[in-house]
Structure 1
């Protein structure tokens, strides 16, 4: 599968749009393992949601989403135009409504990284 890159509107609905785009792509590539697709949707949703909540949009009011699937791994990357700051999973109290996104990423992914360049902050999982 080739690498797919797209711009999403910098809105709360970007996470839903990202899930659908990734699902459609994985399904059309005959990657029929529903559990894999659902985990991929969760990962992309958390990454895009975090970018929206904590990042900044591009001048065009977008963020960038890309993914690549090889024989054994899916790599998803989300870039916003925010400033770099170190990220680490939080351990929120049970009753907290948020703060679990990177913990989910950490639990589901073999590894994840945060980089910063001229475009902004990129989280890859």
Structure 2
């Protein structure tokens, strides 16, 4: 499931393009981070971020050719990278400003608040990657 480099551990899982994959991704990510000795507060933040990214991919994206969605994380010496890739094709992504009246649309705003940075690219679908410092 993962590969190791000198100073990082990276994991990619391909999950069904279905809402049930959010729970599965959270479970896999949290277990991996805990086994690596990551602080519980960082595990909690990572679970929140991967939930938001994956939910956005499921709601606004499209499945890839295999009808899956890819979730990846790389545990680096001072930060954690979280990434979700769907088969969609968006021109622009931005975090909307949070307000008390919106019933949805808060995912990227939450990611923007919790993470140190995030970005997206359109190579092989839509990939959103967030960086969470923990050192």
TM bucket (normalised to shorter chain) is: over 0.9
Q: CA–CA distance in 2 between the matches of 1:48 and 1:91?
A: 20
- Helix, strand or coil at the partner of 2:9: coil
CA contact (8 A) 2:98 2:109 kept: no
Residue of structure 1 equivalent to 2:27: 20
Residue of structure 1 equivalent to 2:63: 57
Q: CA–CA distance in 2 between the matches of 1:68 and 1:92?
A: 28
TM, length-normalised to structure 1: 0.93
Residue 92 of structure 1: CA displacement?
A: 5.0
Residue of structure 2 equivalent to 1:30: 37
RMSD: 1.1
- Helix, strand or coil at the partner of 1:86: coil
Q: CA–CA distance in 1 between the matches of 2:66 and 2:101?
A: 37
Show CA shifts across 1:64-107 (max 9, x none): 11110112100011000001221111135413221110000111
CA contact (8 A) 1:77 1:123 kept: yes
* Structure 1, 7-16 or 91-100: larger mean CA deviation: 91-100
Residue of structure 1 equivalent to 2:5: none
Structure 1 runs (4+) deviating above 6 angstroms are: none
Q: Which has the higher strand share?
A: 2
| Structure 1 unaligned residues grouped into runs of 5+ | none
Q: CA–CA distance in 1 between the matches of 2:10 and 2:99?
A: 38
Residue of structure 2 equivalent to 1:80: 86
Show CA shifts across 1:4-39 (max 9, x none): 0110110011111111110010011122x1111100
